[in-house]
Structure 1
Amino acid sequence: MKLVKLKIKNFRRYKEEVTINIEDLTAFVGKNDIGKSTILEALDIFFNDGKGVVKLDKDDINKAALAEGDKDIYITAIFSELPANIIIDSSNETSFNVEYLLNSEGCLEIIKKYSNAGSAKVFIRANHPTNPNCADLLLKKQTDYRKIIQTNSIECENQTLNASMRCAIWNHFRDDLLLQEIEIDTSKEDAKNI
């Protein structure tokens, strides 16, 4: 995977969301106190979950945002050059694309939200099905998949593999998925596996 963009919001001097294109970046050049170190420290916090060099604390919340009652810091990393296969459910191979986990640009976008400078809540921004018949499949359990398959008379070759059942359900509704860019909360139910 290749980090291509970093987004920061409400972190130190960055109140409004700012996007930093990483791509083939090799150096940051700029005046003193312009925010270069803040960007590198945001990367440390994102990748090391506060166990790296930089520890997130309440002083890191943007003061103007805090005055408006907004205590949430957002650090978002966007990746390209993704692996062809991933494993979400125990040992079942699938892909980010098949699972509708890519944003509208075809990249993996992971958002970490730190409320009150606490622990991160992780989201994936993805162009994902919103049709009520097949939305939130990543949050469902195997029994839920089987019920959807049975209720809609969906053909599924393997009802023991979650990835296979999700794929069959999405294929059944492929003409009416109502794809929309949404944030998937990975802390809920079975989405924790992501």
Structure 2
Amino acid sequence: MAKKMSKKSTSIDMTAMCDVAFLLLTFFILTATAKVPEALPVDTPSSTVQTKLPETDLATLSIGGNKKVFFDLKGREVRVRTLELMGQKYNVEFSEDEKTKFALMDGFGVPILNLKQIIAMKASDRNKAGQPGIPLDSLDNQLKEWVYNARIANIEVNDKELQIAIKGDAKEQYPIIRKVMDLLQDQNINTFSLVTGLRGKDF
């Protein structure tokens, strides 16, 4: 007579798996950074082209909010060196603490003489400060100087040419965007990226 095999339990203890899941969840929550609202929200025009902007050696000129232009720059060391060069140009002295804070800032849009006030603010307050944009008229073209000095700083720090991206609002008038393009061409910058939002190819 054949002996009956005793059935073994098929249940699995999931306690260890739950512990691992909660550890991973805790890790991702603690290391995640909240998305800071943009200094100048821009509703970019749609496009089907998918080309990523570089993570380094990049300056972004954001245009929106009724002809306002904001400036942003990748790389902390490059930002600090650019600020130093701008300080020399406009005879504004920035402290080491101000340089450190500026290196961590997002884009900004104020005249150089008002920049200290923006640097001193908390990130959340900067976005509510009603920044008027960087001057770019013929008598006081500070945007041209930011681009020029950022290019010098990027070569000094990274030994590479700075790339430029224009992020224009879809509702913004063409003349202001043309003015920014002319500013770049005056510095022999004939290649730059236009930032757009992705849309489906069927639309």
User: Hey, which of these two has a bigger chunk of strand by percent?
Assistant: 1
Shorter chain as normaliser: what TM range? under 0.3
User: Hey, which of these two has a bigger chunk of helix by percent?
Assistant: 2
Structure number with greater Rg is 2
